[in-house]
A = this chain, B = another copy of it.
């Protein structure tokens, strides 16, 4: 059954802003384009949506194909539809953002790909298309969400010290945080399990390791609990 605006129609892509945190900097995973347009330029991983796959399936497939990443935390970010954003023709892109535990196995596979590389968010090379705008949108979403959803844990190793958690917040938000207030607030949520393990790395005295309890968060959220840091 044809309809009025059926042809010509825009092409549809997905793109992913993949964030990682290496305990010093917030990073973003970029791929080097092998084909025109913008051949040789760095870009967000992504590609064309197949007509028989969902948007979520498309971005997971592209991430695995281009960076080796799979089973990452993924959320839809925004859909970019400026008419001239692709020099070939009209292409609308549904952007996602992903959060990756850089210390885990999954990320090693990603960095095996010769044309996939982590860059500090604060020092990326020039990007193809409108990907700088998409990256900026992803960064703003991450900063916003960090304050009212416990998504920061997706960027940390499974077991982390409170100093690591605080440093993540300080790095992403770009502000210094008072240590005592931060600990009081974070522990007050009762969402962390204190483990009988310490972190022996580094020059400091051993610090206790903690683990985030996502099941408990889901239970609290259903009762109207608000996470706000």
Contact = CB atoms under 8 A, between A and B. Distances in A.
A36 B81 contact: no
Contact of A53 (B51, B76, B83, B148): B83
Contacts of A151: none
In the complex, the count of this chain's copies comes to: 2
A147 B147 CA distance: 13
Contact of A148 (B48, B83, B148): B148
A56 B81 CA distance: 8
Nearest to A175: B224
A6 B10 contact: no
Size category of the binding interface on chain A: 35 or more
A1 B89 CA distance: 9
Interface in A32-66: 36-37, 47-56
A11 interface: yes
Contacts of A83: 52-54
A81 B11 contact: no
A52 to B, nearest CB: 6
Main secondary structure of the interface of A (DSSP, over half): loop
Interface in A201-229: 224, 226, 228
A92 B76 CA distance: 14
Contacts of A5: 11, 47-50
A109 to B, nearest CB: 24
Given A54-B81, A83-B54, A88 B1 contact: yes
A226 B81 contact: no
Contacts of A181: none
Given A9-B11, A10-B49, 12 more contacts: A1-B88, A4-B48, A5-B11, A5-B49, A9-B51, A12-B92, A52-B90, A54-B82, A54-B83, A76-B79, A92-B94, A147-B226
